[in-house]
Amino acid sequence: MIRERLGKIFAEKEIYFRTSGTVRFVRISSTVQIAAASVLGALTLAWLVATLSMAYNQVSVAHDRAVLDAKARSVAAEAGKVKAFKRSINDIAADLDRRQDTLDDMVRTQFGTLDAAPDVVGKPDEKTGADSAAADNSGEKLSAVAPGIETLRMIEQRQTRFAHRLAALVDARAEKAAAAIRSFGLNPTQIAKRNAVGLGGPYVPWKGGVGDDDDALSQLAHSMARLNALERGLLAIPSGKPTASPMLTSSYGYRRDPFNGRAAFHAGIDFKGRYGQPILAAAAGRVSYVGGRQGYGRVVEVDHGNGIMTRYAHLSSFTVKRGQKVTRGLTIGRMGSTGRSTGTHLHFEVRVNGAPINPRRFLEARQDVLKVQQIAKQRFARVSSQNL
């Protein structure tokens, strides 16, 4: 069947040519036609195979390129994440550097240095965090060495623990100051309010990566402010003897008036001594009055803040001027017998908000109270000298 069809299709053919009256012909046999057709078919098949192969290759290359492009985009995205992560790490490290600087500055401005204030922050060999929380063994800044996120978290936690621990110790010390103030019969809350340092300036929020509102640092700052107010108030309370004379010739309160013998109120304590004996300021303050007062003779009055004033009367002379700052123990005058006086002595008064109170509680302060005062005095002196 197929052979018959092929025979018809490729039947022997004769092609005639006529040139210059001469007729020629070419006979093409079935075998030649089949061979030519086979060759043409083979060439066509080869062309199709080549075309399909090229098309396949193009599709495959396009697919591979798409895969490579996707991988490249993925790698670029991961690289971007890594870069952003590194940038975030550096930002956090820089924030922790600033946080540590704040902690260091708080300790330095309030206590001098950790080594200089072991009674406040603990023993020198204790791991508090302020000495090593912000830097590695090389001592470089965190923002420079860019440690891992876990290391940064540990450092942040260590800083926070130190801030809370220091705040607790500061609060305990503040309570000692408050107890000492109460021992003088004064209100520590009022003293603290009057000694609060004036603060101000524009509000600039903290933008640290460890939290916009740092509770640990805020608590520490509040504790330190309260301690400062209480200890400054404690230092202003007169507790030093106004003269070297140990004898009290007349007590505070009821007595018989030395001139008329009638019952009278004595608003201070009298110290007997020699004429010209130095009279000393009982506490630091500012001289608020120098001159004569009726009944008192020549007087020096010192304002110690917090509504506390000391009066030194019957003086023979003055060694200070009004408005002058004085320290505890500074000579402010000389003993005499001016005014309503029967002999050489010092009349010493302590007044709170204008009302006289018994000076004995100030002159006979307990040793533990005096020790708290002395520690506060040493702290302020140390901070003042180290922050010049």
How far is the C-alpha of 303 from the C-alpha of 300, rounded, in Å? 10
pLDDT at 279 over 90: yes
Tell me the average pLDDT across 303-311: 90
* Largest separation between any pair of C-alpha atoms in the chain: 184
Tell me the average pLDDT across 160-187: 87
pLDDT, tens only, 53-70: 888 888 887 887 887 777
How far is the C-alpha of 271 from the C-alpha of 288, rounded, in Å? 22
pLDDT band of 324, cuts 50, 70, 90: very high
**Residue reference for tokens 């209480």:** 230
- The answer to whether residues 34 and 6 touch, using CB atoms and an 8 Å cutoff, is yes
Q: Which amino acid is at 91?
A: D
How far is the C-alpha of 220 from the C-alpha of 228, rounded, in Å? 12
* Arithmetic mean of pLDDT over the chain: 77
pLDDT, tens only, 187-211: 888 888 877 655 444 545 545 444 4
How far is the C-alpha of 181 from the C-alpha of 231, rounded, in Å? 9
How far is the C-alpha of 303 from the C-alpha of 354, rounded, in Å? 11
pLDDT, tens only, 342-368: 889 999 999 988 888 888 888 877 778
| Structure confidence at residue 205 (pLDDT) | 54
- The answer to whether residues 363 and 232 touch, using CB atoms and an 8 Å cutoff, is no
Q: How far is CA 202 from CA 199, 205, 207, in A?
A: 11, 10, 15
Confirm whether pTM is higher than 0.75.
no
| Structure confidence at residue 208 (pLDDT) | 47
| Structure confidence at residue 138 (pLDDT) | 39
As given in the structure block, the two tokens for residue 41 are 């078919």
pLDDT at 290 over 80: yes
**Residue reference for tokens 């053919």:** 13
| Structure confidence at residue 321 (pLDDT) | 96
Q: Which residues lie closer than 8 Å to 156 by C-beta, 6 or more apart?
A: 96, 99, 210
Count of other CB atoms within 10 angstroms of residue 61:
10
pLDDT, tens only, 3-61: 777 667 767 777 777 777 787 777 777 777 778 888 888 888 888 888 888 888 888 87
How far is the C-alpha of 68 from the C-alpha of 345, rounded, in Å? 104
Please give the full DSSP string across 135-179, using - where no structure is assigned. B-TT--BHHHH---HHHHHHHHHHHHHHHHHHHHHHHHHHHHHHH
pLDDT, tens only, 73-95: 777 666 666 565 555 667 667 77
Instruction: With CA atoms as reference, report the closest residue to 193 among 151, 247, 139, 229.
Output: 229
pLDDT at 294 over 70: yes
| Structure confidence at residue 79 (pLDDT) | 64
pLDDT, tens only, 252-277: 766 666 666 666 777 888 888 899 99
- Selected residue with higher pLDDT from 178 and 212: 178
How far is the C-alpha of 367 from the C-alpha of 353, rounded, in Å? 26
* 146-154: long-range contacts, CB 8 A cutoff, minimum separation 24: 146/86, 146/89, 146/90, 146/93, 147/89, 147/93, 148/89, 149/89, 149/92, 152/89, 152/92, 152/93, 152/96
pLDDT, tens only, 114-164: 555 444 444 433 433 334 433 333 344 545 555 567 777 787 788 888 888
How far is the C-alpha of 227 from the C-alpha of 221, rounded, in Å? 10
| Structure confidence at residue 322 (pLDDT) | 96
